[in-house]
Amino acid sequence: MFVIVGWVVALAGIFGGYAAAGGHLAALFQPLEVVMIGGGALGAFIAANSMHTLKHTISGLVSCFKGSKYTRAFYMELLALLFELLAKARKEGLMSLEGDVEEPDKSAIFGKYPTVMAEHHVVEFITDYLRLMVGGNLNALEIENLMDNEIETHHHEEMHPSHAVSKLADGLPAFGIVAAVMGVVHTMESLHLPPNELGILIAHALVGTFLGILMSYGFVAPLAAVLETKANEATKVLQTVKVVLLASLNGYSPQVAVEFGRKVLYSTERPSFRELEEDIKSRKSK
């Protein structure tokens, strides 16, 4: 939503100022320039990235126009799920989680939290490390190191769309110059035309440079920034799970372990201590 609002504000400021200065907006309407710049940039984008990155980028771009999945409500559900799992393990032993870990889609506990279940990366992360905890062959330091490596790998993969779109933004001004040079070439081969017609051709050529810069910094670069933010949000979820599970491994009670997780959240998504406590109590009473 804010992406579209930002684009509208940018266009209104640029074209509004141009029109107020006496410029003719029709002169900026050069669809062939857009085809040359967009086509060249798209071809380079396809050539520079793997099929996996292309698919990941497309799905990521769609998400740019939606709100974040990782809201305060999501984190409260996540922490409540972790609390319930750890409370069961503390009461009945870690082995009691074996069924929940092996088949989370059939688990009565996981079934209470559909929002978390919709995030398969998060569910896999939770169940994989609970499985290691149930096995009991690794200590907290070994599991923490493994978690850090997996989170780093996950973050690297999540950043692929942002990096790809950022490079696309960097290349658009150059493709704008290519379109402008082609316009100049066309102008030079048309020197037999009268000055007023040559002026129009030169103006058309310069529009290519303008469009390349506008498309880069006004449209594509902001998308790369949004994709980076979303990658960081996805990583923060795994970091939260990591902190909670490690706190439990180090002997803290479920109540204290989820408090560890609450404290690492971004301030915009972090519920208060009382808010989280009341939410967990209300879920336990159901």
Q: Are 180 and 6 in contact (CB under 8 A)?
A: no
CA-to-CA dists, residue 170 to 2, 166, 175, angstroms: 22, 6, 10
List, in sequence order, every beta strand (DSSP E) within the chain. none
**pLDDT score of 237 more than 80:** yes
**Per-residue confidence band for 260, with pLDDT thresholds at 50, 70 and 90:** very high
Average pLDDT of the residues in 12-24: 87
**pLDDT score of 149 more than 70:** yes
Half-sphere exposure of 181 (CA within 13 A, CB side): 7
The region that residue 201 occupies, defined by phi over 0 for left and psi between -120 and 50 for alpha, beta otherwise, is: alpha
What gap in Å lies between CA 47 and CA 19, rounded to an integer? 38
Q: What pLDDT is stored for residue 285 in this prediction?
A: 62
What gap in Å lies between CA 189 and CA 262, rounded to an integer? 68
What gap in Å lies between CA 135 and CA 129, rounded to an integer? 10
> Tokens standing for 104?
């989370």
Mean of the per-residue pLDDT values of the chain: 90
Locus of tokens 């609450």: 262
Would you say the pTM of this structure is higher than 0.85?
Answer: yes
Torsion sign (Cα): 44, 49, 51, 55: negative
**pLDDT score of 249 more than 80:** yes
Q: What pLDDT is stored for residue 286 in this prediction?
A: 62
231 SS3 class: helix
Residues of the chain above pLDDT 70, percent: 99
Q: What pLDDT is stored for residue 21 in this prediction?
A: 83
